[in-house]
Amino acid sequence: MNNIVWTIAGSDSSAGAGIQADLATFNDLGADPCSVITAVTAQNSVSVQLVESVSEKMFTQQLASLAEDMPAKVIKIGLMASVEHVKILAQQLALYKQTWQKAPFVIYDPVAVASTGDDMTEEGIIEVIKAELLPQIDLLTPNANEVLTLSGHALISGESFKPAVDKLIDMGCGSVLIKGGHFELVDNVALDYWSDGKREIALTSPRLENVHTHGTGCTLSSAIAGAMALDYFIEDALVIAKAYLNQGLKASKALGAGEGAIAHCGWPTNHDDFPEIVLPESSIGYELDLPGRLEAGPGFEP
Ligand code: PXL
């Protein structure tokens, strides 16, 4: 029995993010990793110097080589720098879902689609991502900026999470995890919110003040992918991934003049690293309007 998980992402020469972070995460959790490289980046801890997408031929062949012999249970997508790659990938994902014995679960961390920090990607890519890639995605993992870019919804309060997620689900995603790394709904609390439009879950952890956070987005989505490749249900995978992230953040350090990257330290085992589930009757539950939605029952549309 294999637990194959693919990462489709960019190479980071500083090895803190991208393919390098994804593979380290899959290995730590015990999944069986494969990789498809979308772009090569030359970067250090201070800045990104050069980004070059691989040729369409090379991108397509990597997918074909793996599809033929090593189909995945879970596919994690990171940096997509080329419009043509997005179109090819959307088409291939649709094909895998129709033709593979078991449809892969597809996770997309929409790296560099935010209006800030968009310099790693080609012009016009966001429209193609919205129209063609999002409908193939089972779990999207945006931060607040990426939510705004993709859905037009600004996360201004707890109550704004659910409508933003519902919009992204209308656009074709199966479910959405909003990462709270940049969103301080409650002082000193990091909050992540997940919903598939019917079920929902929010997780909180004490905010960690570590400045060495390069690669946290890649690592979180890869940890979810790795755990799902081991057959954990999505809610459990979110908890494991968050614990893996907290553990790695506590051990991260600088290696160059700039920000350091998250560390990779094996399966999370420390109780303090595990997040808490938000209960409807808690203060954060009220902020998110969980009691109101529970009362309205499943399938409630705001
Ligand atoms: O963390 C986002 C990210 C994803 N993929 C690659 C990156 C980065 C950030 O630098 O270099 C290849």
Nearest to 60 by CA among 32, 25, 95, 33: 95
Rounded Cα distance, 4 and 68, in Å: 13
Rounded Cα distance, 163 and 151, in Å: 10
The active-site residue, picked from 216, 226, 248, 260, is 216
pLDDT for residue 186 = 79
pLDDT for residue 287 = 86
- Using alpha carbons only, give the angle 245, 120, 40 rounded to the nearest 5 degrees: 80
Cα of 183 from ligand 1 centre, angstroms: 20
| 55 close to 82: Cβ distance less than 8 angstroms | no
pLDDT for residue 135 = 98
pLDDT for residue 302 = 45
Please report the atom of ligand 1 found closest to the CA of residue 19. Answer: 12
| Residue 224 to residues 108, 132, 245, Cα–Cα distance (Å) | 11, 23, 10
- Write out the DSSP string of 152-219: -----SGGGHHHHHHHHHHTT-S-EEEB-TT--SSTTEEEEEEE-SS-EEEEEEEPP--S--BTHHHH
Instruction: Determine which residue's CA is closest to atom 6 belonging to ligand 1.
Output: 18
Structural tokens at position 38: 């979308």
CB contact set of 123 (below 8 Å; sequence gap of 6+)? none
Phi, psi of 241 (to 5 degrees): -65, -40
Torsion sign, CA atoms 264, 270, 276, 277: positive
pLDDT for residue 119 = 72
| 275 close to 56: Cβ distance less than 8 angstroms | no
Known catalytic membership, residue 218: yes
Cα of 6 from ligand 1 centre, angstroms: 16
List % helix, strand, coil for the chain (3-state, nearest 5): 40, 20, 40
Q: Is the CB of 173 under 6 A from ligand 1?
A: no
Q: Is the CB of 111 under 6 A from ligand 1?
A: yes
Mean pLDDT by 10 residues, the chain (302 residues): 96 97 98 98 94 97 98 98 97 98 98 66 93 98 94 92 96 96 79 94 91 94 98 98 97 95 97 94 88 68 48
